[in-house]
Amino acid sequence: MRKRLWPVGGLKYGQKLFLWASLPLVLAVAAIAVLVAHQSRQLSQREIAALEAQMILAKQAELKNYITIARKAFFNIYGRAAPDDAEAKLRVTQILAAMLYGQDGYFFVYDYDGNNLVSPRQTEFINRNWLGLTDSQGVPVVDELLEIARTGGGYHTYMWTKPSTGETEQMVSYVIGLQDWRWAVGTGIFIDDVRRTVAATRAATEERIRRTFLWIGAITLVALLGVFLSGVLLNLRERRLADAKLKALTQRIFDTQEEERGRVARELHDSISQILVGVRYKLELARRRMENGSAGAQDDLDTGISGLNGAIQEVRRISRDLRPGVLDDLGLGPALRVLTEEFQNRTGIAAEFETVVFRNRLDNEAKSALYRIAQEALTNIERHSGATQVTLKVRGDEHGAVLRIDDNGRGLAAAAEDGGPGGGLGLRNMQERIEQLNGTLRVLSSRNGTLIEARVPLAHMLSPEEKTKASA
């Protein structure tokens, strides 16, 4: 079934084909790219969070080891000293002040009142009270350290000035409490290296995602190029086929026109021309007899007039074959009835026509197509089928209009074996006529006869208002 393709929005058929073929691919690739990026980011965030937690745990374990080493260094002094032993306290502060490690590592001591006792890398803190001290983000520092020390010990994270650079960095501290002396002893380690490692890992992840996007884009571009080239090749192939079909159709139109012209020329020469020659002869003979006063001039005139009447009827017959007026005036049913009666009178084959009240509701294209299909079928039956009985039925239903032509001839295969048309030009003309209406043509043939059924869709049925306008 043929479909007519109309340009929409100024796009050509090839452009629309490429657009509709590419759009799902682009959407699918975009969805895949977004999903891959989302999943990659989620996975990388989990991995980075796990890496960060693992590195911080390692830092915390390192801090705990430092505190353990420091306790061993002053444990004997603290264990034997009384709570108010000033000399023992001085010795412990000296030991802790001397225990430096790395560029920024040191131990600090606060009493529970908030006074700093040891801060070897930031000596400006010593002997000053720091209760209420907060970092740059408002996190309590000394108060929280003292609270942790009172409860036995633990970790605290805050922003602190790094001695080696003077920059504020994040610091993790581990603090314990010397309850007898009411001291909080701790040390801290800066985790800016952890942050740099995490940032580098995150940047590497984003770079991998960016490269993935580039690869997906490149693959998409290659796929689109493949679709475009396939579309171009398909378009060229279809165009070549369409050009070949158009040439064949044009040639067939020319052949049909020449055939029709030849048929009309033969009709004019074999019938009308001979009749008119006979009329001329009779009129000339009547004139000579009238000039000579001979008898029989009246008979010659009557014969000429009768010949003219025959010529007029022949002209009407040829005109009716080209385009029957009854088809336009009365509709398809009466036109097919006249065609069937003329077929029976001309061939002697018993022809029966059946129809229902059709009300002439078909549009002109459908009426012409069904009439020509019936005309073509009856011509083939007359020439090749050897049938003795033909039945034509036409009716309308909820699906459209149906024309059925049934004969008891020998079938298309037997006709083709004897030089008949078989499934040739006649059936092809019928098929093309019905396809122009988006209808269907069904042909069933055997040695006991042939059935041709042509169906026109409901779209070619006129409404009562359209029928009235067409009649007017």
Q: What is the pLDDT of residue 116?
A: 95
The answer to whether 405 and 391 have CB atoms below 8 angstroms apart is yes
User: Over the stretch 223-255, which tens digit does the pLDDT of each residue have?
Assistant: 778 877 877 787 788 888 888 888 887 777 777
Query: In CATH, what class is 329-471?
Result: alpha beta
Q: How confident is the model at residue 357 (pLDDT cuts 50, 70, 90)?
A: low
Characterize the bridge pairing of strands 183-190 and 440-446. Answer: unpaired
Number of neighbouring beta carbons within 10 Å of residue 257? 10
Select the highest-mean-pLDDT range: 177-181, 227-231, 407-411. Answer: 177-181
Question: Mean pLDDT, to the nearest integer, of 253-275?
Answer: 72
Q: What is the pLDDT of residue 311?
A: 74
Percentage with pLDDT > 90 across the chain: 21
Q: What is the pLDDT of residue 177?
A: 93
Q: What is the pLDDT of residue 463?
A: 58
User: Over the stretch 193-210, which tens digit does the pLDDT of each residue have?
Assistant: 888 888 888 888 888 888
Torsion of CA 133, 134, 139, 141, to 10 degrees: -40
Instruction: Select the more confidently predicted residue: 42 or 184.
Output: 184
User: Would you give the distance in Å from CA 298 to the centre of its chain?
Assistant: 84
Q: What is the pLDDT of residue 462?
A: 66
Edge to edge, the sheet with strand 400-407 lists 350-355, 389-397, 400-407, 449-457, 440-446
Instruction: Select the more confidently predicted residue: 57 or 311.
Output: 57
Q: What is the pLDDT of residue 102?
A: 85
> Is the alpha carbon torsion for 378, 379, 382, 386 positive or negative?
negative
In angstroms, the CA 339 to CA 113 distance is 124
pLDDT at 81 over 80: yes
pLDDT at 4 over 60: no
Torsion of CA 407, 431, 419, 405, to 10 degrees: 10
Q: What is the pLDDT of residue 468?
A: 47
Question: Mean pLDDT, to the nearest integer, of 121-126?
Answer: 91
**What are the domain boundaries of the chain?**
49-190, 329-471
Burial of 80 (0-12, 13-18, 19+ CB in 10 A): exposed
| 3 state SS of 316 | helix
In angstroms, the CA 23 to CA 184 distance is 68
Mean pLDDT for the chain overall: 81
| Same fold across 49-190 and 329-471 | no
Topology (CATH level 3) of domain 49-190 = Beta-Lactamase (3.30.450)
